[in-house]
Amino acid sequence: MIRRLSHAVGTEIDLGEVDVDDHLARRYAEAVGVSPPPGHGADLPLGLVFSMRGAPAPEVEFASGTVSVHAGHTVTVPHRLSAATRYHLTSRIDAIFEKSGRSGPLTVVARVARLRDPQGSIAAVIEDQQIARWRPAVNPTAPAPHAAAPAALRTTPGLTTGAELQSGAGLDLGEVIAVEHRPAPDPQAVLRYAQAFGGIEPLFVDSAFARSIGYPDVIVPGPLQAALLEHMLVSRLPGWRLEQISLTFRVSVIASEALVLSALVIGFDAHDPRAALLLDLTLENDRGEGAAVGTATLERRPH
């Protein structure tokens, strides 16, 4: 399925420097539809590293008649990202391989990008996978009705309180700490994100194209889905810093469809004040499918 590689597998390329400031953080928050960080010195979201990297690189040109999507990623930030910092960015294709999926043969391109701070230390690592498949020959799908967004997100009552989450009290294996019912971003929101950071891929911005290959409407980019999960965690866990988020996107999320986001504890030692908090993440679509699944690792903020 691959027509051309801009660089050989394993070749590290230099993507230059990127300046991170409060303006970039605000642009990102607007693009993903969440509240911006409160100001200079605040933690920056992990999802911002995708906008810092830009389009996946090194570039891969796929054969005509294929369609590609973001299949999954792991973002690791060992220490707090901060504004007013210039980061240096490098990236490489780590591997290319073939596999079989529900829709037939797939080509997987795995990349690794690294951001380094002015001292040369690793500030963030992005490991992501792009999947290409042959475009299906299907009849166009009728336009999907767009769900009306509720006035506010619905959260499930009876969960561990914010104070308990901050102290670590009440946390235990299997504890459900967050559940949100919300609509997926609508087509206009997906377009805003794609124009700002996601790349103008037809599946994100062209409803007619999406329907021509069997989707009811444009799909929500994986990094935008991840931003919804990250915002839920940050809002629910103010006493913790998100260090890593790892997600696999199994089923495409359609713009405006109903979603359920959840997080539960799968690793925590209440007796160790330095213990990390490990969560299992799920984003379900309106058909009850686990459209995105993965994990998050958080560390307790110092008092």
pLDDT for 151 equals 38
Beta bridge mates, 283? 261, 292
pLDDT mean by block of 10 residues, the chain; 303 residues:
93 93 84 70 82 88 90 93 87 95 88 94 95 77 51 50 54 90 94 80 90 92 94 92 96 95 93 90 94 96 77
Q: Decide: 266 and 195 in contact? Cβ < 8 Å.
A: no
Task: Return the DSSP state at 35.
Answer: P
pLDDT for 198 equals 61
pLDDT for 150 equals 45
Measured CA to CA, the distance from residue 191 to residue 113 in angstroms comes to 25
pLDDT for 155 equals 52
pLDDT for 166 equals 54
pLDDT for 142 equals 55
Distance of CA 292 to the CA centre of its chain: 9
Measured CA to CA, the distance from residue 77 to residue 46 in angstroms comes to 7
Nearest CA to 115 out of 136, 85, 153, 95 is that of 85
pLDDT for 103 equals 74
Q: How many CA atoms lie within 13 A of 159 on its CB side?
A: 20
Distance of CA 26 to the CA centre of its chain: 17
The DSSP code sequence of 152-198 is S-EE-SSPPPHHHHHHTTT--TT-EEEEEEEEPPPHHHHHHHIIIII
Give the torsion through C-alpha atoms of 94, 100, 104, 105, to 10 deg: 40
pTM of the model: 0.87
| Residue 198 structure tokens | 């996601």
